[in-house]
Amino acid sequence: MHKIWKLKESKTNKVILIQDKVIYKGNPKENDLNRINSETSDFSYLKDLFSIPYSYIKLIENQSGKNCIKIFFSRDSEEELYIESEIIKKEVFEFLKNDIQNLKYSVEIPTALNYAKAQVFALFSVSGIFSWSLYLAIQIESGAEYELIGHGNPGITGIVLAIANFGSLKIIVGYLILLGIIIFALTKRLKSRSETEFLKR
């Protein structure tokens, strides 16, 4: 048994095919694409497509409003099935949901922290470095002197000291600019949060 979706307008996967518990995706040659249908018996073109065996899959995500289904597999690999039509995307996900028996289905709206963890981490990291750099800058402007000991990689201390040498005013201006960028990215990210269906191993 096999299932085929032809997405001729897609730039990344003009065909999605599921056969023998393997998901195939890619852009086959035009003549191969034209002859693909539900009665197809010649699957020689599959060797040119990207494949994900069911047994490798750890998690599948289908987020409402997004034009892709995310598949997490093997150790840290991730692949996306780009599908512009919400109807077809739902159809593909439902097929996988029914066909992969050992994946548990759930649906939820991700928490703000989990959904925007990268932006939150950036906010705390930048704020921490800023506070440390500003403190050192104020001390330097008051006459204190600092130097790095050792000849190895200075690491984060060297970076903070280098920033501190720009002076407190430049540090504050730079921080406000970075803070504005991070808050904008965080707000944009949170606005895209929506109901997500999961298939988890």
| Low-confidence stretches of the chain (pLDDT beneath 50) | none
Quick one: which of 9, 2, 101, 84 has its CA closest to 46?
2
Say if residue 49 is in the same domain as residue 124. Answer: no
* pLDDT for the residue numbered 155: 82
What does pTM read for this prediction? 0.71
Given 74, 102, 130, the domain boundary residue is 102
* pLDDT for the residue numbered 150: 64
How big is the CA angle at 179 (ends 156 and 133), to the nearest 5 degrees?
Answer: 35
Quick one: which of 138, 126, 132 has its CA closest to 177?
126
Q: How far apart are CA 11 and CA 36, in angstroms?
A: 18
Is 17 in contact with 49 (CB distance < 8 Å)?
yes
Q: Is there a domain that residue 133 lies in?
A: yes
* pLDDT for the residue numbered 47: 86
Virtual CA dihedral for 83, 89, 91, 92, nearest 10 degrees?
A: 70
* pLDDT for the residue numbered 147: 78
Alpha helix stretches (DSSP H) within 28-109: 30-35, 86-99
Given 38, 67, 102, the domain boundary residue is 102
Is 198 in contact with 107 (CB distance < 8 Å)?
yes
Buried b (16+ CB within 10 A) or exposed e, 63-84: beebebbbbbbeeeeebebbbe
Say if residue 97 is in the same domain as residue 120. Answer: no
Range of the domain at 82: 2-102
Say if residue 87 is in the same domain as residue 7. Answer: yes
Quick one: which of 179, 182, 200, 198 has its CA closest to 190?
182
Say if residue 128 is in the same domain as residue 148. Answer: yes
* pLDDT for the residue numbered 148: 74
